[in-house]
Each structure stands twice: as structure tokens, then as C-alpha cells.
Amino acid sequence: MAAHLAFNTRMSAREAIGTLALTGSASTLRRASLDERMQQAQQVRLGPDARQPASGSVEALVANATSLYNSVKGKK
């Protein structure tokens, strides 16, 4: 409010201070904590993983190569 009065009006400093005194302090709204906001968030339930690609397909070959790579690198 003070910034608005300072930059967007032609009020003198005395008039602006008087206006601010009459309006009183703005009530500070309490912001919900992260925990409260997370409790209100919709939880997504994931389904089972994708099906295995058909045997002999390009996707199966890539999945097999990825699996071999992960086993060599120690990834699960």
C-alpha cells in the first residue's frame, strides 16, 4: 500500500502517512506449512510397471542390452 501511495499518487508524504495510519496494519495471513500443503495434495497411485516387450522385437533387444549394462555397472 505504501509503495502504491508513493509511486502512483500525487499525495504528499504527510497525507500518505495519514492514509496509512487510518487503514491500520494489514492482517498477516498465516501461510500453510509444507506438511499441511502436502497433506492436501492428491496422491498419485502408480500402477504396475509396463509389460515386457514381445520376444524378438527391437524393444526386447534394447531392454536386454540395458539389463546387461546395468548388471555390469552394478545397477539394480
pLDDT digits (tens, 9 = 90+) for 20-76: 888 876 656 788 899 999 999 888 887 777 778 888 899 999 999 999 999 999 876
First to last CA, the chain: 57
Compute the average pLDDT of residues 11-27: 83
- Alpha-carbon distance values, 61 to 13, 58, 70, 72, 75 (Å): 76, 5, 14, 17, 18
DSSP 39-55: HHSPPP---PPPPPPPT
CB 20 within 8 A of CB 2: yes
Distance CA 19, CA 42 (A): 44
**Model confidence pTM above 0.85:** no
